[in-house]
Homo-oligomer: A and B are copies of this chain.
Amino acid sequence: MKIGILTIGNELMNGRTADTNSSFIAREISLQGWQVETMMSVGDDFATIKSRLHYLLTFTDAVICTGGLGPTADDITTAAVAKAFGLPLYTDEKVLARLKEIFVQYNLHWTENNAKQALFPAGAEVIPNPVGTAAGFALQVKDKLVFVIPGVPSETHRMLPEGVIPVLRRYFPQPVQHVVKQTIKTFGLSEAAVDEKLADFNFEALGINVGFYPVFPENHLVLIARADSQKQAQSNLQKAIDAVTVRLSDCIFSYGEQTLEEMIAAALTQKKLSIAVAESCTGGLIANRLTDVSGSSIYFDRGLVTYSNEAKISLLGVPADIIEKHGAVSEETARLMAEGVRKLAGTNLGLSSTGIAGPTGGSKEKPVGTVYIALADANETVCRHYRFRWDRKRNKLVFSETALMMLQNYLQEKK
Contact = CB atoms under 8 A, between A and B. Distances in A.
Interface of A: 10-20, 22-30, 35-42, 48, 52, 55, 70-74, 102, 105-109, 111, 113-114, 131, 152, 190-193, 195-196, 211-214, 216, 222, 277, 279, 282-288, 290-292, 294-297, 300-308, 310-311, 315, 345, 357-360, 369, 387-389, 391-393, 396
A73 B114 contact: no
B22 A107 contact: no
Nearest to A45: B37
A152 B394 CA distance: 13
Given A23-B17, A283-B292, A294-B360, A193 B11 contact: no
Contacts of A36: 13-15
A108 B36 CA distance: 37
Contacts of A196: 111, 113
Contacts of A311: 301-302, 345
Given A152-B214, A302-B311, 14 more contacts: A12-B23, A12-B26, A72-B191, A72-B192, A277-B284, A277-B305, A283-B292, A284-B285, A284-B303, A284-B305, A300-B307, A301-B310, A303-B304, A305-B305
B38 A26 contact: no
Given A192-B114, A294-B392, A392-B292, A212 B74 contact: yes
B48 A192 contact: no
Counting chain B CB atoms within 10 Å of each CB, the highest count among A12, A291, A292, A345 belongs to: A291
A195 B73 contact: yes
Tally of this chain's copies: 2
Given A73-B195, A284-B288, A303-B283, A38 B41 contact: yes
A256 B395 CA distance: 25
Nearest to A11: B213
Contact of A10 (B211, B277, B308): B211
A359 B10 CA distance: 34
Contacts of A73: 195
A201 to B, nearest CB: 13
Counting chain B CB atoms within 10 Å of each CB, the highest count among A10, A17, A102, A305 belongs to: A305
A308 B303 contact: no
A88 B23 CA distance: 34
A141 B65 CA distance: 32
Nearest to A114: B192
A48 B38 contact: yes
A214 B107 CA distance: 21
Contacts of A295: 360
Given A296-B307, A307-B291, A27 B15 contact: yes
Given A294-B360, A304-B302, A108 B283 contact: no
Contacts of A10: 211
Given A15-B24, A38-B42, A307 B315 contact: no
A394 to B, nearest CB: 8
A292 B296 CA distance: 24
Contacts of A22: 12, 15, 18-19, 41
A357 B13 CA distance: 36
Given A14-B30, A17-B213, A72-B195, A291 B283 contact: yes
Contacts of A25: 15
